[in-house]
Amino acid sequence: MLSDYTVYKKIGLVLGPILFLVFYNLPFVIINPAADKVLAVALWMITWWITETVSISVTALIPLTIFPLFNIMDMKTVSANYGSPIVFLFFGGFVMALALEKVNLHKRIALNIVKLTGTTPNKVVLGFMIATAFLSMWISNTATTVVMLPIGLSVISLLTNDEDGFTAKDKNFALNLMLGIAFAANVGGISTIIGTPPNTIVVGFMEQEYGMQISFFKWMLMGVPFSCIMIGIIYFILVVVVYPNGLSKLSNSRDIISEELDKLGPIKKTERRVLIIFALTIFLWIFRIYINKYIPFISLSDAGISMLAAFSLFSIPFHFNQGIFSLDWADTKKLPWGILILFGGGLSLASALSATGVIDFIGEIVSSNTGLSAFVIGSILILIMLFMTELMSNVALVAIFAPVVAGIAIGLDYEILHMLIPIAMASSCAFMLPMATPPNAIVFASGHIQVHEMAKAGVLLNIISVIIIIFFAFVVIPNIF
């Protein structure tokens, strides 16, 4: 079997440490001695993140290893970043997602949403998109796509097995359904802080470096409308502009959905237990500010609520005598621990860049040399982020970009958050290439999509996304945050 460890990755593996050693031992000072050391580490991390020569989570361990070794930051300080409240917010979200998946509640929710939307081809596409986007608000876009794909393929099989075979119209419907699932999974995660890692990185960065807490509810005030707008636009572009199918009816599609629901059977007690905890968690996230105000003897935080939900799923017995719980610790083997480490590495790098004056240095350069407005620079940053995320991990990109964007905002005397949130949003709007996001790759593997077909719809959606995000950046977000 041929190895997929390419020459590109091999070069990255060697180049990262070399760049670190070269910049660490420069005979002159760029910013200041401490900042130069951090920049040397940053170059190593950026090289490995871009080339993905090792797992991006492994790269995130570099601060924990190198900072104490070279006296850049002591172990106690750097390790605190890996235990940031934002890490535990996402941990609780992961645990809830595990519970939803374990009892198949996510599939039941998705199937019922699809069933409600109707059985004409375009309504089926819309139903799949809405269901996918909703699930992606709470569980990973990868898991969401894995759940929705086989159901979608079952519907597509109706077309291949009907009397007229698999026509050009049928092919367009299949494209609509597959691309709709992937793209809805991408934008659905923008709705909530825990929906996708880039959101969490930005929230954690702002809390860690500037003491600014972003509530779950406030993020949803911005994120949910954006996701809804994008779902509408994606649906219109796919079924009307790029790949209209012209089909009038899909026979038996409702039967397929009903059969899938019948396989799940009536809702079980375990599902009800998870659903109650899930609903209560969302309720507390949305109303925690008011609860804290009117019930002063408790203090709720988004991370605390998340951990309370996780603790409940592990510790409230379903069968007391038998010691059966909604989740067992063994279930966490499916939890993406690497993402949690990635948050810590990104926060550590950002903290070091801030503490040594690199962010302020970027701000001074911007403030003294640019004649461009915050609108122009912000728009350029959104454009760069959105198209760069087609080629590399959006999580790594945001971890790299966050401190830089903060420095630019400081230099422009512009609210940091108003420039950072659009960057996070842009990082999740990758529609052109299969390698851009896991959902794109998963539906591409279905065999119903070719690269040029994804790119044809994706390039148009990328351009529209830039325009919508710019509007949110300078009109909507400043009125919410």
* C-alpha span between 343 and 330 (Å, rounded): 23
DSSP one-letter string for 241-297: II--------TTHHHHHHHHHHHH-SPPHHHHHHHHHHHHHHHHHHHHHHHHHH-TT
Q: Which pair of tokens denotes residue 130?
A: 């809405």
Cα–Cα distances (Å) from 245 to 62, 116, 160, 175, 240, in that order, read 50, 21, 15, 9, 8
Contacts of 347 (CB under 8 A, 6+ apart): 81, 82, 84, 86, 201, 204, 205, 208
> Would you say 230 and 278 are in contact if contact means Cβ atoms under 8 Å apart?
no
Range of the domain at 303: 86-334
Among candidate residues 146, 243, 155, 145, the one with its CA nearest the CA of residue 188: 145
In a domain, 395, yes or no: no
- pLDDT, one tens digit per residue, over 345-394 is 988 998 898 889 888 888 888 777 767 889 999 999 999 999 988 877 78
Asked whether the predicted pLDDT for residue 2 surpasses 60, the reply is no
Specify if 350 maps to a domain: no
Q: What are 326's two structure tokens?
A: 């909604």
The pLDDT > 90 percentage for the chain reads 53
Per DSSP, helices labelled H in 25-104 are 33-51, 56-59, 62-69, 75-81, 85-102
**Residue 355 CB neighbours (<10 A):** 16
Q: CB atoms < 10 A from the CB of 303, how many?
A: 21
Task: Fill in the amino acid letter for 131.
Answer: A
Rounded to 10°, the helix 358-369/337-355 angle is 60
324 near 318, Cβ under 8 Å? Answer: yes
State the pLDDT at residue 426. 95
Q: Could you tell me the pTM of the whole model?
A: 0.86
**Residue 121 is assigned to a structural domain of this protein:** yes
CA separation for the pair 100, 216 (Å, rounded): 20
In a domain, 315, yes or no: yes
**What single letter denotes the amino acid at residue 132?**
T
Mean pLDDT along residues 321-347: 87
**The pLDDT value given to residue 6:** 85
Minimum mean pLDDT range among 56-65, 158-167, 211-220, 270-279: 158-167
Residue 352 maps to a domain: no
| Number of domains observed in the structure of the chain | 1
Per-residue pLDDT averaged across 415-427, rounded? 95
Instruction: List CB contacts of 45: < 8 A, sequence separation 6 or more.
Output: 16, 59, 60, 62, 63, 345, 349, 400
CA 125 to chain centre: 22
For 367, residues 6+ apart whose C-beta sits below 8 A from its C-beta are 410, 411, 412, 413
Q: Position 199: which residue type? A: N
- As a 3-state breakdown, the chain gives helix, strand, coil percent values, each rounded to 5, of 75, 0, 25
Q: Is residue 84 a contact partner of residue 343, using CB atoms and an 8 Å limit?
A: yes
User: Is there a domain that residue 474 lies in?
Assistant: no
Instruction: Encode pLDDT of 228-253 as tens digits.
Output: 999 999 999 999 999 998 877 766 66
Residue 237 domain flag: yes
Per-residue confidence (pLDDT) for residue 382, from 0 to 100? 95
Q: What confidence category does residue 161 fall into, taking pLDDT thresholds of 50, 70 and 90?
A: low
Q: Flag whether 319 is in a domain.
A: yes
Query: How far apart (Å, rounded) are the C-alpha atoms in residues 43 and 415?
Result: 27
